[in-house]
Structure 1
Amino acid sequence: MRYDCDLHCHTVRSDGNDSPEELIKNAAKAGLKVVAITDHDIQPPLYLETDDGKVDIRVFARQNGIGVVLGYEFSCDTYVDDVHILGYRMNFESPLLKEEVERAKRSKSEAYRELCELLTSKGMPVDYENEILKYTDEEGNIRYRDPDEVQRKHIFELMAQKGYAPTWKDAKIMVRDDPELNVRRKKISPFDAIDLIKTCGGTAVLAHPFLIDEIIQYPDGRNLTRKEYIEKLINHGLDGIEACYPYSKTSYKGPLKDSEIEILVKQEYAGKVKFFTGGSDYHADHKKGVVNPRYLGEGGISIEEFNAIREYML
């Protein structure tokens, strides 16, 4: 099935494989009514360059028969994997947000170069310069990335291509679960992310809560349960939680089905947050030959549910 509104999608601006223009057109073709652009650690595009010149992205979406929500996915917490806060309805031209974008870029480029060096030292050669910064796209063309554009998923995809892991998801788990490989880049704290979103006039939503480990272990010996961690975020002003999400196509390690997680999240946090959202976390992975990739609208909410929270999204 496809949901009417997919509020968590990625483009080539971070680690997706559709351009923003392609994402909007593909979502419209798939019959969605609303699609969100929520790239990692970078503002969404406010305008698109088309054959007709520079066009406001919202106008372009309407011309294609679909609504677009603009967002920003903050990668949070240096010591906890997969804590992502989605910021919607923000002032994306805020100097404070631009400062965070630059800080995140610097932290990524340094950490990902180090990860490639560590993989190579452990018998899994990954050449940062000639395989990550310089790469071949799906059409066989040689492309170049700026170091600030590199995402960990680019490294995981290459690991799968080279046979170090069956899929990029397996590569992610391999790196995550190996203390020597799991290079910790300096990430914004989730509390600071929530504060920044609110300062920029936005709405803060916790993405894929069950990708956070059930028991969180900090280097200083502190332990927190996932539930305790989320309660802290709620107490700090978290507005919503992503409830409908395709965990079965991610690195989720638990036994629960996607539908069971959605029910649990809604039962546990009803009345504690203002609303629930949903999204596919679409990356257009089919372009990279990924078997059984996430598709647009695989996670999401109905148009009726969206209209009830429209004021928080637009």
Structure 2
Amino acid sequence: MDDDWVRRGPIDLHAHSRESDGTDAPGDVVRAAAAAGLGVVALTDHDTVSGWQEAADAAMETGVALIPGVEFSSQIGPASVHVLGYLLDPVSAAFVGERERIRLERVERAERMVRAIGRDYPLTWRHVEEHSAPGATIGRPHIADALVTLGIVPDRSAAFEGILHWQGGYYQPHHAPHPVDAIRIIADAGGVAVLAHPAARGRPVMRMGVLGELVDAGLDGVEIWHRDNDARSQRELLVDAERLGLLVTGSSDYHGSGKPNVLGEHTTEPAVLAEIVRRATGFAPVVPAP
């Protein structure tokens, strides 16, 4: 396959569906990408690949090329670190095992948080389930949506800044691998690993100075053009990316109506996507005929 398709239109390499914490069906994410004028979109739900087939069908329908991916939850101490894995083998044994472990831990953690919140607010597990798609991994965004529906908070952002904040009194720890392990799992599955919004949540990765360690583990790139990375962090990340030989991506982190992020608000250069595809051996992009 030649790589002319990477230049069909803007490229957004980070979007979520209701299979994790977005609000749109996987196919509707791709249709929204087409409506936004994108040429390529990546579906990167948290710790699941369950939306890939529906998104692929919509890609063939709309003409938007699809990069199947996943956003791996990982952790350094108390700091959450997300790693995007593109074009990895979805049935790789290590990936499947870790994905299931994370999924179970996320659900158990959500149940603990709901029980704690329910002691002070009229929130039940049933309310939370009503805000998730069948089979989706339930997490804090679904709890936030239930709190909004119940009128306890005005929107998701308020929920995360208050009740669901790690200092809000209801936060519960959960299992997540170290990002080094997440990167190795992605690499072993033939995927390409890109560090997601590394300056978000108080710049934990930059503050801890672990980028070099992640590169040694097989990190391919860093998502710099993202609304959660401030201008200063972007400048510092660009220096680090050049020093460490990392690919630089840009993405919206679209969640439908769950977040204000707009498809295509940040994009990736075609040459970078072409290199991602060249490095990947686990899965192929879905490229409709022109």
The answer to whether TM tops 0.5 is yes
The answer to whether residue 236 in structure 2 is matched with residue 236 in structure 1 is no
Render the CA deviation track for 1:14-47: whole Å, top value 9, x for unaligned.
1112212111122112110100000001125443
Render the CA deviation track for 1:217-236: whole Å, top value 9, x for unaligned.
xxxxxxx8625133332232
User: What corresponds to 2:127 in structure 1?
Assistant: 131
Please list every run of at least 4 consecutive aligned residues from structure 1 whose deviation after the TM superposition is greater than 4 angstroms. 57-60, 143-146
The answer to whether residue 279 in structure 2 is matched with residue 307 in structure 1 is no
Give the match's secondary structure for 1:185. Answer: coil
Q: Would the alpha carbon gap of residues 243 and 180 (structure 1) be closer, same or farther in structure 2, given more than 3 Å must change?
A: same
- Deviation, structure 1 residue 5: 0.6
Q: Would the alpha carbon gap of residues 170 and 47 (structure 1) be closer, same or farther in structure 2, given more than 3 Å must change?
A: same
Q: Would the alpha carbon gap of residues 296 and 83 (structure 1) be closer, same or farther in structure 2, given more than 3 Å must change?
A: same
- Deviation, structure 1 residue 116: 0.8
User: What corresponds to 1:52 in structure 2?
Assistant: none
Give the match's secondary structure for 1:186. Answer: coil
> What one-letter code is carried by the residue in structure 2 that aligns with 1:200?
A
Render the CA deviation track for 1:208-263: whole Å, top value 9, x for unaligned.
1011434x5xxxxxxx862513333223221100011122xxxx8xxx45xx5433
User: What corresponds to 1:16 in structure 2?
Assistant: 22
Unaligned runs of at least 5 residues, structure 2 = 1-8, 286-290
Q: Does the aligned pair in 2 maintain the 1:40–1:75 contact within 8 Å?
A: yes
Give the match's secondary structure for 2:199. Answer: helix
Structure 2 residue aligned with 1:37, among 38, 43, 61? 43
Q: Within 2, Cα distance between the matches of 1:17 and 1:114?
A: 23
The answer to whether residue 178 in structure 2 is matched with residue 189 in structure 1 is yes
The answer to whether residue 259 in structure 2 is matched with residue 278 in structure 1 is no
User: What corresponds to 2:265 in structure 1?
Assistant: 298
Matches within 5 A, 1:119-268: 119-121=117-119, 123-128=120-125, 130-135=126-131, 145=134, 149-174=137-162, 175-178=164-167, 180-214=169-203, 226-247=207-228, 256-257=230-231, 260-268=232-240
TM normalised by structure 1 equals 0.77
> What one-letter code is carried by the residue in structure 2 that aligns with 1:299?
H
Give the match's secondary structure for 1:176. Answer: coil
Query: How many residues are paired up?
Result: 272
Q: CA RMSD in A?
A: 2.6
- Deviation, structure 1 residue 87: 0.7
Q: Would the alpha carbon gap of residues 243 and 44 (structure 1) be closer, same or farther in structure 2, given more than 3 Å must change?
A: farther
Q: Would the alpha carbon gap of residues 244 and 44 (structure 1) be closer, same or farther in structure 2, given more than 3 Å must change?
A: farther
TM normalised by structure 2 equals 0.83
Q: Within 2, Cα distance between the matches of 1:81 and 1:159?
A: 24
- Deviation, structure 1 residue 181: 1.7
Q: Would the alpha carbon gap of residues 61 and 77 (structure 1) be closer, same or farther in structure 2, given more than 3 Å must change?
A: same
> What one-letter code is carried by the residue in structure 1 that aligns with 2:99?
V
Give the match's secondary structure for 1:270. Answer: helix
Q: Would the alpha carbon gap of residues 297 and 12 (structure 1) be closer, same or farther in structure 2, given more than 3 Å must change?
A: same
Matches within 5 A, 1:105-120: 105-120=103-118
> What one-letter code is carried by the residue in structure 1 that aligns with 2:85?
G
Deviates more, 1:27-36 or 1:229-238: 229-238
Render the CA deviation track for 1:246-303: whole Å, top value 9, x for unaligned.
22xxxx8xxx45xx54333212321314301111110111xx6x6xx21111122233
Give the match's secondary structure for 1:42. Answer: coil
Q: Within 2, Cα distance between the matches of 1:173 and 1:277?
A: 28
Q: Within 2, Cα distance between the matches of 1:144 and 1:206?
A: 27
Q: Does the aligned pair in 1 maintain the 2:27–2:57 contact within 8 Å?
A: no
Unaligned runs of at least 5 residues, structure 1 = 49-56, 136-142, 217-223
| Identical positions, percent | 28
- Deviation, structure 1 residue 109: 1.4
Give the match's secondary structure for 1:211. Answer: coil
Q: Does the aligned pair in 1 maintain the 2:180–2:214 contact within 8 Å?
A: yes
Q: Would the alpha carbon gap of residues 225 and 167 (structure 1) be closer, same or farther in structure 2, given more than 3 Å must change?
A: same
Q: Within 1, Cα distance between the matches of 2:92 and 2:137?
A: 21
Q: Within 2, Cα distance between the matches of 1:104 and 1:306?
A: 28
